[in-house]
Structure 1
Amino acid sequence: MEESIEQWLAELEKIEAAGGKMTEKQSKILQAAIEVFAEKGFAAASTNEIAQRAGVAEGTIFRHYKTKKDLLLSIVAPVMGKLIAPFVLRDFNKVLDLDYERYDQFLRAVIANRIEFLHNHMHVLKILIQEIPFHPELQEQFRKNILAKVLERMNRIVDQFKMRGQLLDLPNLTIIRLTVSALIGYVAASLYHEQHEGSAWDDEREREDTISFIVRGLGAS
């Protein structure tokens, strides 16, 4: 966890550099806020707890950020617009730029790529997942910087497999929606069982069963 948070803080400091270097106290506040927001969610988190974890007075937070929401947005908005979107697309390009003979090969590559990304950046991504539904500012950032760009690339991939006769002649958005829904279900269950030792879970089998389910449901033959 610590390594992941340090990576995000380093990137945030680069983003802040244009407007002046982040102070040591500000860095501690952001680190504490990332931890508390990820653990409790925005609504349940308190600036008092964030201050205690950062080792600063609560008033110090409000000297840097007018409200708790400003603190949240200072973590999420620049990261989404300037870090997450380029990083997701750059890392995802390793998968999208390759030519796969079959749709199942593409799905295996996507799963491996995204699982690694989730493991490396779970805490900030957890904040995004928790808070995007409740903050219009974050929703707009997500639509513009991430969703639109990912859909554009995915459309090209789906078109290629449809031209090869490997996918049903359904609207691209339907194919993407059904594929992503199944993959998210697998990933969520995989992460849950990973965090609960002793639970019965054969990850390799579950991954292959999920891929087979998608291919059988969407395959043209």
Structure 2
Amino acid sequence: MDKPDHEKIQSGKGDEQETRERILAAARQLMSQKGYKGATTRKISELAGVNEVTIFRHFKNKERILIELLEEMTEIRPALEKAIHACGHDVKAMLMHYGEAYYNALVERKEVLIICLIESQNHPEVFNLLSRMPQIADEMLSEKLQEMHEAGLLPKGDFATAAHMFVSAFFHSFLARHWVKVDCDSLIDIPTMTESSADILLRGIGSR
């Protein structure tokens, strides 16, 4: 028996979504291995098992694939939300979990993030999307610090600046380790950095 029309439509949409996801997965893999220029649409199509026409039907060009990958990767709220709520009323523990979660999110995305850092010089849209990760991290931490202040757990402070400085320390450490590739022996290890950064933030707020 033939499927009803609505089931055929839903099946078609499912096939299209599966094809789109295969293209993105192939592009992600190739860009991490060969860089943005080396991941040609021909190679992406071969790895995804589709022809190039299909790629251009789903994405206008290769830059659009990169932008969609970055949009997917900048959604770090779930990981940061989990870190924020993992430690109850322990402010220092929350900060340490938050810093570690943010740094790990960067490392998990390092291959494509580095490609985006390079390509952002020529593509402002890519730069704007790349900036979203530290912006989200700043905003979420600032809001949490304000919430803890209102709960009587922190004195009044400039939480926006404190959050920005805290998040920036982890972003710069990520760049030093994975883009500039500074000798790791000369860098503070991440566990020490999370604890020290939390202490510095708390002392800064407490001394106001």
TM-score range, shorter-chain basis? Answer: 0.5 to 0.7
1:78 and 2:76 aligned: no
Counterparts of 1:86-101 in structure 2, within 5 Å, are 86=75, 88-101=76-89
Closer/same/farther in 2, CA of residues 180 and 90 from structure 1, 3 Å limit: same
1:185 and 2:183 aligned: no
Return the index of the structure with the highest Cα Rg. 2
Q: 1:108 — aligned with what?
A: 96
Match of 1:101, SS state, is: coil
Partner letter of residue 218 of structure 1?
I
Aligned-pair identity in percent equals: 12
Structure 1 unaligned segments of length 5 or more: list them. 1-15
Structure 1 distance, partners of 2:104, 2:139, is 22
Is 118-127 or 131-140 further displaced after alignment? Answer: 131-140
Match of 1:21, SS state, is: helix
Instruction: Kindly indicate whether the alpha-carbon contact (under 8 Å) linking 2:102 and 2:170 is maintained by their aligned counterparts in 1.
Output: no
Q: 1:155 — aligned with what?
A: 142
What's the TM-score once normalised by structure 1's chain length? 0.59
Specify which of 22, 32, 35 is matched with residue 34 of structure 1. Answer: 32
Question: What displacement does 1:99 show?
Answer: 4.9
Q: Deviations over 1:80-107 (max 9, x none)?
A: 33x2244x11122111234543432222
Structure 1 distance, partners of 2:155, 2:175, is 25
Partner letter of residue 122 of structure 1?
K
Q: 1:213 — aligned with what?
A: 200
Q: Deviations over 1:142-167 (max 9, x none)?
A: 56x75665455333202123333635
What's the TM-score once normalised by structure 2's chain length? 0.62
Structure 2 unaligned segments of length 5 or more: list them. 1-13
